[in-house]
Structures are given as structure tokens and as C-alpha cells.
Amino acid sequence: MRIGIYGGSFNPIHKGHTQLAASIVAQGLVDELWLLVSPLNPLKSGEVSNIAEYEHRLKMAELATEGIEGVNVSDFERHLPLPSYTINTLGELQKAYPEHEFVLVIGADNWERFPRWYHADEIIEKYHILIYRRPGCELDETALPASVQVVDTPLYDVSSTKIRESVKKGRMMRRWLDEKVARYIKRHHLYL
């Protein structure tokens, strides 16, 4: 099977994430999409002060994707050495599941920073990459490597950072959260 790998801290997971995941599968771009909850993003470790424990982020991702066909949550990176660089994760996935083809799914925001990723050239050489658009990120589609494809998905102007900030101020932004996730955040007093 062709498996899309969609990684992030999902701190917390929101409708921008889930609608995107559902759309990639619905368009038949992959057979399944695995949402990989990362223990720590090497480029973000200094920026995010309010990071919920791994168990919480994983659980919220499971709650939010329940019932979305073809979208699965994976804790694969939890068992890998830190920092969890994408090239290592993809290599380990390929070793663990030689029967599958793994495709990297990233946002245009990440594509802008992609040259800074650890072993970026090797990722491009070995794997297909699907790039989805993000508001405010221009993509120069004339200069993309052959292994890279730009895909159209719904755009939602929301981020986990905005959600964490609003929860802190006592507002839950329920419009952008799965109802079960909103309840989970409240019950476990996250992001206060």
C-alpha cells in the first residue's frame, strides 16, 4: 500500500489537521494516511513552552480521527531515538513495513524550511513528497523536484498555537476542535 506520513506535534490536533488528512485520503493520493505524533520537533523544541505530554497528544489525535476512514494515528516515533529526524523515521518505517511505500506529506510552510531539514536531499531522492498549500505561503511550482507533487486541500486558518493561547485565556475555540478533544482538554486541564 501507499502510505502517507503526516507528522507533527499535534499540540493539540485541530480541524485543520483532520480535514487535511481526510482530504488527502479522499482524493486517492494515498491508500492510508498515518498521522505520526512526534515526541519533539527538533526545529521547534526551543519555541514551544506549553507542550502537552505525549500520551495526551496521542489520545487527542485518536479521538479526533475516530471514524475518518483511512486515517490512522501512529506512535511509531516514540520508540525511536531522539531527535526524531524525518529521514530516520522514514528509513525505520520502511524497514518495519517493507511491503508499503511511504510518501511524505508536508505543508508549504515546511517546504519553505525544507532545505534546513536533516539530510533533505536524501529525503527527496528516496521518497515521494506531497505538499499541501498553507495560507500565506507562496509555492514556486516551476522549481520543484520530480518527486514532489503539490496537492489541493481545504485551507483553514487555524494553528495549535492559537488554540493553546485561547484556552489559556479561557476560550476553547470549539469551532476548530473535535468535540471529544475539547472535552479532553477541559477534563485534563491542558494548556492553562
- As measured in angstroms, the least distance from the Cβ of 110 to ligand ATP is 5
Residue number with CB closer to ligand ATP (46 or 98): 46
Binding site for ligand ATP (CB under 6 A): 8-11, 16-17, 20, 48, 106-107, 109-110, 134, 156, 158-161
Distance CA 192, CA 99 (A): 43
Q: For the CB of residue 9, give the shortest distance to ligand ATP in the complex, in Å.
A: 4
Q: Which is nearer to ligand ATP, 65 or 110 (CB)?
A: 110
> What is the distance of C-alpha 15 from the center of its chain?
12
Which of residues 9 and 91 has its CB atom nearest to ligand ATP in the complex? 9
Going by C-alpha positions, the residue among 5, 4, 31, 17 that lies closest to residue 160 is 17
Residues 6+ apart with CB under 8 A from 66: 180
Nearest alpha-carbon partner for 15 in 179, 189, 187, 185: 179
> By C-beta, is 63 or 98 nearer to ligand ATP?
63
Cell of 182: 475539547
Q: Smallest gap, in angstroms, from Cβ of residue 41 to ligand ATP? A: 7
